[in-house]
Chain A
Amino acid sequence: MIRRSFTATVARNETWVGQAATEPYEAAWAGEAIFFIRALEAAVPLAEAVARVQISPDGIHWCDEGTAFGLPTAAGQVTFGRVRHFGGYLRLVAALPPGAMCKVIVALVLKE
């Protein structure tokens, strides 16, 4: 049996400023995941902006999983973070400094 996989677009054309979060996504069937962030538009300063992967026992209460990575700093750029052993629920949160903006498309790539 080949390994099943699915890519879910968990944020599409969403403008992130300040604090941002993707909607909860259930991925208990998957053993590994990558969050990709692609910038459709970007306004600096984004160098200190950080995205953090969060996990949850119930889709309501969240904690940092430990994976963190930067946001793309210009339109067309892509950044990513890999996670494994994440249980059931996943989401991505981001913190952007004052004045920064990133319009994003976020892909959650899941594989058994």
Chain B
Amino acid sequence: MDAMQRAVLRADPRLSRFDPLSRIISFDDFDDGYNGWVGLIGNYEGSLDTMLPGFAQYMEPQLSNVTHWDTGSHGAFDGTYCLKTATRPTRGSQNVSIKRVTFRYPGPIQFECYFTFKPEASELLLSELDVRAVGFLFDLQDGESGSRRVMPHLRYLNALDGKPVGQWQFKQTSVPFSKIGGSGKTVSHYHLSSEGWQDVPGGHQKLCYNEVPTKINWHYLKFGVELTSMTFTAFQCNDRVFDVSRMAPLIVPAMANLWCMLNVAMFVETDTDKRAFLYVDSVLVSGDF
């Protein structure tokens, strides 16, 4: 990025708080709408009953002004609305929002966002251990000359079984694929299962939860991947820059209809019988091409 381009980005109040690569692939400010973010749906064939249970629980994201019973509307980082991904009120429930595009050049790409998470404010308690985890991932596949579907996963494990954790994790392994329906064309794998998460080296981090469930503070997140080597290139949350040299993505054989896929997803999981909410003010996906 040259000095002129950097100066233009820094002069735009909406972009100045991001550190994009040289080309902006998408900039989603949820004051403008959903911007193509939808609920993840599991694969099915013939009947919705064929969907794996882990996927069947998922629901659509919401445009939220973060309204609470005690203070009213909190609003977003800027403007009024953010994207809210909400679980059901059942311990272990999970929800995922996703945006689906493709890439035109297999080079470096980067995800940035401003996010926060909270449990539903249904009790007059601190409730800081009610959200189990929030996470972010790319779902990628080589161009048609390649052979890999690659899924770099990251999650912040906030708490587990009522105990504080505060650890960033990545995932290299997933559960086996299941056949869906009878045509032989459809499979599914629940890659967001609780198995297989590994700690990011040096990845323990204390975030700003604040002092009641209705006070929120926005956090910066950035991570990058290179689409030829399919390795992590960067990972940062707020003031912490993590060593990615010992992190790796989940890799499975390429699938029949996913060439050049560039999906971005965000997820949240609750550790109690209370809804957990992941709020995202804005997302910027950029690349060098």
Q: Which residues of A contact B (CB under 8 A)?
A: 4, 6, 8-10, 12-13, 23-29, 40, 57-61, 88-89
Contact = CB atoms under 8 A, between A and B. Distances in A.
B49 interface: yes
A6 B120 CA distance: 24
Interface residues of B, number: 27
22 contacts: A6-B34, A8-B39, A8-B60, A8-B62, A9-B59, A10-B59, A12-B56, A12-B59, A13-B48, A23-B86, A23-B88, A23-B275, A24-B86, A26-B84, A27-B63, A28-B63, A29-B81, A59-B67, A59-B120, A60-B69, A60-B120, A88-B65
Interface of B: 33-34, 39, 41, 48-49, 51, 56, 59-60, 62-65, 67-69, 73, 80-81, 84, 86, 88, 120-122, 275
Nearest to B51: A13
B69 A13 contact: no
Given A88-B73, A89-B67, 17 more contacts: A6-B63, A8-B39, A8-B60, A9-B60, A10-B59, A12-B59, A13-B49, A24-B275, A25-B60, A29-B80, A29-B81, A57-B69, A58-B68, A59-B120, A60-B121, A61-B69, A88-B67
Would you list the 5 A-B pairs with minimal beta carbon distance, nearest first?
Answer: A58-B69, A13-B48, A8-B60, A26-B62, A26-B64
Nearest to A26: B62
Contacts of B81: 29
Contacts of A28: 63, 65, 67
A56 to B, nearest CB: 9
